[in-house]
Chain A
């Protein structure tokens, strides 16, 4: 019990970070799995979500205000996702997609910096959730526990959506055999655009949820993108389960790494990634048929 006591805070932090990373990264993984598109603007979308919090929430914001902000962020994400889907639709090849989305990310970063300035902005946790409670003898911020809960719920909803609904079956069929789906009369490009939009919405929501913990500042989009990419690579391309496992793993490793080697936390993270790739070169739970290989 002593070990748990000493490390509980760290474990919970890892879970919270993992939860946030899951929300942010699942969209990236799905978009890659369904559309075979590498979207490097994903971090920027997340950051935009965070800035929604900056713009909309005041220090005295309550729970209701926060929910409204989340909805705005989700809507923004949907729009951005659909836009990105349209822009990448005509561009084939990972290299060109990567550069297109990177260009968009740079432009977006600059625009956000123009609007919100270069300083680190803080986003308050909603009143009522901004305190700490006692967890097994340790004081722990309520907000982070809420984040863990929200992420878990969304993960469950996503799983049910993909696995148990007609819509989910349609998405899975589109991934497996786009031609067949087209032959059935379904506009596969609309399905895929929908996936893109949903993924972006989740990323924006994730960014906003992360804001009370991470803040909002230029350059954060790069950090988020990098972590999300590691999650996707570790977890395996195209799968929700992979994104979840990858996110939890990365969340823990990153948290531990930061507390052990503050300056070189990246080493632990990339070391873990290298380890996973050595054993499973396509990640932990890749979706079959998504090779990720360059055309």
Chain B
């Protein structure tokens, strides 16, 4: 996997053969790991759902914003971790979703489902159009193109009067869940909607990860030329991944707007893209759940701790980046999965950590 020109070639590294993990033992341990994972997931969901009972409005809204950001990070992981296409442009589709949701809320309907649907649809469409061009590139050029897409969307939002230009879109009404229903003004209730959106988005990502498309995506990540040599066009796979990621980011955007009731170009800044990508690496690329934890850690550090070190949020973040790269080669997911990951990473020399479970 690491074949940078000038780096050690994988075949020349001395790879010790670990004790074979084949056979019945392996699959049953995989099954029990999967069961443990499901239990942990359920526990986490219950804790998250119960938060509004215990927390005051401010922490709840912070939690909600973390969830929205975490869903954005999941969309980055779908591209960077699963498909091997690191992207600095997912914020664009987040923004498209957010602005679409806001505009629908102001001008059309305050129904949450309608806003979500519109945001996802428009974001997916924009992703399809931009992705068709973007995924023709790979590696660094792809990174650049996505950066350009992100920045352009940022500039567009800043300049377009129809969406409020640099002042952003304000006065977004609260959502309702059903026609004629009460607008949700309580932070806790809005949070539950956000949690629902997060679960749906994460569920989509997890489903795709376990699907044939997800395996094709990993094939692109591992050895795109080999995929061609068995007769598969990688373009379609990459584009599909891109559109799905864009849709998820769009959903995250609507979830954001629903809580903050305000969206401005500042929310689409390059730094957000960068932090999202960092969260993926911090959490463990490709695992989907690792980056979620990474997102939480990053936001908590930036929002919470920077309160104590006012004005130096960027410094902190930068230090976090540096430390994460050196200290956590496989991200937090790597730490959590301990031995197996370390062995795998040592064998593969993987720079990008972890993998989704098949």
- A–B contact (CB under 8 angstroms): yes
**A positions within 8 Å CB-CB of B:** 32, 34-36, 38, 90-96, 98-100, 102-111, 174-175, 178, 188, 192, 222, 226, 229-230, 232-233, 237, 263-264, 266-267, 270, 273-274, 277-278, 281-283, 289-295
Given known A-B contacts A38-B140, A107-B318, A99 and B281 have beta carbons under 8 A apart:
yes
Determine the residue in chain B with the shortest Cβ distance to A88.
B325
Q: Is the CB of A292 within 8 A of B141?
A: yes
Query: When A and B form their complex, which 4 residue pairs have the shortest distance between CB atoms, in order from nearest?
Result: A93-B351, A103-B321, A106-B318, A107-B318
Q: Is the CB of B144 within 8 A of A93?
A: no
Residue of A106, A175, A230 near B321 (CB, 8 A) is A106
11 contacts between A and B (CB under 8 A): A36-B4, A36-B5, A93-B351, A104-B318, A107-B315, A108-B318, A178-B6, A270-B148, A281-B137, A290-B5, A294-B140
Contact with A along B215-253 (1 / 0, CB 8 A): 000000000100000000000000000000000000000
B contact residues around A292 at 8 Å (CB): 138-141
Is B305 part of the contact surface with A, judged by Cβ < 8 Å? Answer: no
Determine the residue in chain A with the shortest Cβ distance to B7.
A92
Give the interface SS of chain A, mostly helix, strand, loop or mixed. helix
Contact with A along B298-315 (1 / 0, CB 8 A): 000000000000001011
Determine the residue in chain A with the shortest Cβ distance to B140.
A292
Q: Is the CB of A178 within 8 A of B145?
A: no
Given known A-B contacts A107-B318, A266-B151, A291-B139, A96 and B325 have beta carbons under 8 A apart:
yes
Residue of B151, B278, B312, B326 near A110 (CB, 8 A) is B312
Could you tell me the distance between the alpha carbons of A192 and B151 in the complex, rounded to whole angstroms?
Answer: 31
Given known A-B contacts A36-B5, A267-B155, A107 and B324 have beta carbons under 8 A apart:
no
Determine the residue in chain A with the shortest Cβ distance to B282.
A99
B305 CB to nearest chain A CB (Å): 15
Could you tell me the distance between the alpha carbons of A186 and B326 in the complex, rounded to whole angstroms?
Answer: 28
Residue of A98, A266, A282 near B143 (CB, 8 A) is A98
Is B60 part of the contact surface with A, judged by Cβ < 8 Å? Answer: no
Q: Is the CB of B139 within 8 A of A293?
A: yes
Is B201 part of the contact surface with A, judged by Cβ < 8 Å? Answer: no
Could you tell me the distance between the alpha carbons of A202 and B93 in the complex, rounded to whole angstroms?
Answer: 36
Determine the residue in chain B with the shortest Cβ distance to A263.
B159
Given known A-B contacts A93-B352, A106-B314, A295-B1, A192 and B6 have beta carbons under 8 A apart:
yes
Could you tell me the distance between the alpha carbons of A164 and B152 in the complex, rounded to whole angstroms?
Answer: 41
Residue of A32, A35, A111, A266 near B140 (CB, 8 A) is A32
Given known A-B contacts A109-B314, A264-B155, A289 and B5 have beta carbons under 8 A apart:
yes
Residue of B1, B147, B319 near A229 (CB, 8 A) is B147
Q: Is the CB of B137 within 8 A of A277?
A: yes
Given known A-B contacts A229-B147, A273-B148, A92 and B2 have beta carbons under 8 A apart:
yes
A127 CB to nearest chain B CB (Å): 37
Q: Is the CB of A277 within 8 A of B141?
A: yes
Could you tell me the distance between the alpha carbons of A91 and B4 in the complex, rounded to whole angstroms?
Answer: 11
Q: Is the CB of A295 within 8 A of B351?
A: yes
A contact residues around B274 at 8 Å (CB): 102
Q: Is the CB of A103 within 8 A of B322?
A: yes
Could you tell me the distance between the alpha carbons of A95 and B143 in the complex, rounded to whole angstroms?
Answer: 10
A10 CB to nearest chain B CB (Å): 22
B109 CB to nearest chain A CB (Å): 31
Is B136 part of the contact surface with A, judged by Cβ < 8 Å? Answer: yes
Determine the residue in chain B with the shortest Cβ distance to A274.
B133
Chain A CB within 10 Å — which of B6, B349, B351, B352 has the most? B6
Could you tell me the distance between the alpha carbons of A96 and B80 in the complex, rounded to whole angstroms?
Answer: 12
B137 CB to nearest chain A CB (Å): 6
A113 CB to nearest chain B CB (Å): 8
Q: Is the CB of A105 within 8 A of B318?
A: yes
Is B174 part of the contact surface with A, judged by Cβ < 8 Å? Answer: no
Could you tell me the distance between the alpha carbons of A277 and B85 in the complex, rounded to whole angstroms?
Answer: 17
A contact residues around B19 at 8 Å (CB): none
Q: Is the CB of A110 within 8 A of B315?
A: yes
B contact residues around A289 at 8 Å (CB): 5
A contact residues around B7 at 8 Å (CB): 36, 92, 295
B contact residues around A100 at 8 Å (CB): 321-322, 325-326
Chain B CB within 10 Å — which of A105, A266, A295 has the most? A295
Of residues 1 through 39 on chain B, the ones whose CB sits less than 8 Å from some CB of chain A are 1-7
Could you tell me the distance between the alpha carbons of A233 and B148 in the complex, rounded to whole angstroms?
Answer: 11
A25 CB to nearest chain B CB (Å): 12
Q: Is the CB of A103 within 8 A of B312?
A: no
Determine the residue in chain A with the shortest Cβ distance to B12.
A179
Could you tell me the distance between the alpha carbons of A92 and B139 in the complex, rounded to whole angstroms?
Answer: 14
Residue of B84, B156, B317, B318 near A294 (CB, 8 A) is B84
Of residues 117 through 174 on chain B, the ones whose CB sits less than 8 Å from some CB of chain A are 133, 136-141, 143-145, 147-148, 151-152, 155-156, 158-159
A43 CB to nearest chain B CB (Å): 11
B contact residues around A274 at 8 Å (CB): 133, 145, 148
